[in-house]
Structure 1
Amino acid sequence: MKASNENNKTQTPFTGESIFPIGDKNEAYARYFTGTSYLNMLSLERVVIGNVTFEPGCRNFWHIHHKGGQVLLVTAGRGWYQEAGKPARELRAGDVVNIPPETKHWHGAAKDSWFAHVAVEVPAEGASNEWLEPVSDEEYDKL
């Protein structure tokens, strides 16, 4: 069952500003991104929640959330989500992505659009992230 409301999706071009402040350049995780992203941590208590904004063409590397998993709440722009071995899924404001633990995946902006999502880390004892290889330009350019 899809948990997004198709009627709420906007066609307005996104320029990096959304309901949450864009935050600073994502220096802490820049080595795991192709392109420039911004991070504004919304919560570090009980549940880790961050607003992540991607410049056009920016995407994170393949990665796995061990134990808890992650939920993405798309707030603006147009982007992509892909699980290993599956086709990429286009994302727009209002989409929700539930990423089960132990699922190799990546997410990021479309080539021609800024993209923002709220990333919710699902709490679990022993949860961790494993960063893997970059999404190749060849893979990305096919989208």
Structure 2
Amino acid sequence: MEHITSTPTGKGPAERFTGDVYLNLIDSGAEPARLTAALVRFTPGARTHWHSHTTGQTLYITDGVGLVATRDGQVVRVQAGQTVKCAAGEEHWHGGTDTTLMAHVAMVVGDGSGEDTTWLEPVTAEQYAAALAATRPA
């Protein structure tokens, strides 16, 4: 058994995130395990860049309200207790709304290559605004 009492919080790098995003690694997927998991906290307006994962990604929302959107135009508003699964190779992004933070546990099962995530371009202000508008409560 290994008891990890705390992990350092790191700021998400600008080449992968827009706005202030904070990460705590939960598990790094060291062999023979292949699960990588992290607690990710997004401040209002913060979000990932477009990206995809070789074997997909599961997001378990732990706090706040946020958005998850896919390249084909699907967008969902998520809140604590909900789970979103992004399929293998599906280009997507996730983050807080314009007025609320959002935190999730992000989980990826690696394929053994060490190159499980493909990072793409930033989500534009127009794409973000459209996702907000499409999911705004009535």
Amino acid of the structure 2 residue aligned with 1:37: V
Alpha carbons of 1:75 and 1:22: their partners in 2 closer, same or farther (altered >3 Å)? Answer: farther
Map 1:10-25; keep pairs closer than 5 Å.
24-25=9-10
Instruction: Say which SS state the counterpart of residue 140 (structure 1) adopts.
Output: helix
Q: Who is 1:90 aligned against?
A: 77
Aligned length: 121
Alpha carbons of 1:24 and 1:102: their partners in 2 closer, same or farther (altered >3 Å)? Answer: same
Map 1:1-143; keep pairs closer than 5 Å.
24-27=9-12, 29-44=13-28, 45=30, 46=33, 47-66=35-54, 68-126=55-113, 127-142=115-130, 143=132
Using the size of structure 2 for normalisation, the TM-score is: 0.80
Q: Is the 8 A contact 1:22 1:53 kept in 2?
A: no
Alpha carbons of 1:92 and 1:22: their partners in 2 closer, same or farther (altered >3 Å)? Answer: farther
Q: Is the 8 A contact 1:34 1:61 kept in 2?
A: yes
Gaps of 5+ in 2: 1-5, 133-138
Deviation (angstroms), 1:128: 1.6
Percent identity (aligned): 34
Deviation (angstroms), 1:86: 2.3
- Provide the aligned C-alpha RMSD in A: 1.8
Q: What is the distance in 2 between the residues matched to 1:115 and 1:132?
A: 22
Q: What is the distance in 1 between the residues matched to 2:26 and 2:62?
A: 14
Using the size of structure 1 for normalisation, the TM-score is: 0.78
Q: Is the 8 A contact 2:7 2:25 kept in 1?
A: no
Gaps of 5+ in 1: 1-20
Deviation (angstroms), 1:32: 1.0
Alpha carbons of 1:22 and 1:139: their partners in 2 closer, same or farther (altered >3 Å)? Answer: farther
Q: What is the distance in 2 between the residues matched to 1:124 and 1:26?
A: 26
